[in-house]
Amino acid sequence: MSIEFKLSNTGIQRMTTSQWECRNIGLEKILNGAYPYIMKEIVDIKKPIKIIIQTHDFPYPITKKDKYTIELQTISETFIEDLFPDYVHGNWWHIGLTDFDEFTKDIVTSCLSNDPIYNKIFWAGSVQNIPQRQKYKSISYSHPNKFETFTMSWRGNSKPSKFIKLRDQWQWDILIDLTGHGWSGRLKLLPYCHRPLIITDRKFWSWSDFKILKTKNFYKVKKDLSNLLEIFEYINNNMEEAKSKVIKLYNYVSEEFKFENVCKVAAQIIVNKINSIDK
């Protein structure tokens, strides 16, 4: 459920391992990137500090061990100041992401080089036992002229049964993000595709999700998807507005989500926690 790290004057060391390898690697990479910025502020860490980061798909209680333990969540119902950037910013090797900046640059290059082919809403993913995804699949199959749905399943070692890269999703006019079991790791990547973005309402969001929501440069659909078809028609009838939102959203995330800037955010959160230890 959570991963524990030790922060000291000599660096950051991972002490435990979660069952999801990419979450271990991704958070470790973010913390190592944050370390130089932490030490600029703190200078000297007199006693090693434990950092426990919750990595489950929804908020999960953490048992604090002592005052030298920092507890961090990566998912929340509402934005909180110490919400920590999730592992995808550091690693999501299941989809080929080992360097966030290089991965998103590749998406941008591909999507800007091609015009969409299909005037449809596109989604790819595993339906699983997720009500919103099951509802979406039903709607999309009832309106094949408006939706293209690419379903897959996960196999051993988290290998997908079939896969379409984000860099290849330029083929569709509109992209949509659906919730996962608790949140969506994919949402932060979709603005790089340079297509109008539909986001379905859900209970839990990540740090980067809240940043995107703040811009309002997307189209939000109700959790039960009751206004999905209405939003599709609206986008098609207001494409200039939609294209403007695309540009604004991309310009925002391309700066905010740079790996170095994410590490700076992570560092400041930890610095604030350390500074409050003896107060």
Residues 265 and 226 reside in one and the same domain: no
47: left (phi over 0), alpha (psi -120 to 50) or beta: beta
What six digits make up the tokens of 213? 């929501």
116/74 same-domain check = no
Secondary structure letter of residue 86 according to DSSP: P
Write down the pLDDT at residue 66.
85
Cβ pair 32, 52 in contact under 8 A: no
Same-domain check for residues 123 and 39: no
CA distances (Å), 75 to each of 25, 60, 186, 239, in order? Answer: 18, 9, 14, 33
Q: Same domain, yes or no, for 18 and 74?
A: yes
For 249, the token pair is 């959203």
The reply to whether 112 and 250 lie within a common domain is yes
Region of 75 please: left (phi>0), alpha (psi -120 to 50) or beta. beta
Same structural domain, 242 and 135: yes
Q: Is 75 in the same domain as 186?
A: no
Per the rule left: phi > 0, alpha: psi between -120 and 50, beta: everything else, 216 is left
Phi, psi for 137 (deg, rounded to 5): -60, -40
Can you tell me whether residue 3 is helix, strand or coil? strand
For residue 152, the model assigns a pLDDT of 80
Instruction: Show the domain range for 124.
Output: 99-256
Q: Give the whole-angstrom CA distance, residue 78 versus residue 262.
A: 19
Distance, in Å, from the CA atom of 8 to the CA atom of 152, rounded to the nearest integer, reads: 43
In terms of domains, do 79 and 119 share one?
Answer: no
Please name the helix (run of DSSP H) or strand (run of DSSP E) that holds residue 87, with its range, or none. none
130 and 14 in a common domain: no
Residue 43, pLDDT score:
85
Contacts of 244 (CB under 8 A, 6+ apart): none
pLDDT at 160: 60
Query: Could you state, in chain order, the average pLDDT of each consecutive group of 10 residues for the chain (279 residues)?
Result: 93 89 95 97 92 91 82 96 97 94 98 97 92 96 95 66 86 97 95 98 97 98 98 98 98 98 98 85
Give strand pairing partners of 12: 7
Residue 158: per-residue pLDDT: 60
List the CATH number of the domain containing 106. Answer: 3.40.50.2000
The pLDDT value recorded for residue 61 is 81
* HSE-CB of 113 using CA atoms within 13 angstroms: 8
Residue 158 sits in the same domain as residue 74: no
Neighbour-count burial of 69, counting CB atoms closer than 10 A to its CB (0-12 exposed, 13-18 middle, 19+ buried): middle
| Together in a domain, 161 and 243 | yes
Tell me how many domains the chain contains.
2
User: How far from the centroid of its chain's Cα atoms is residue 162's Cα?
Assistant: 21
Q: What is the pLDDT of residue 154?
A: 64
Q: Are residues 252 and 263 in the same domain?
A: no
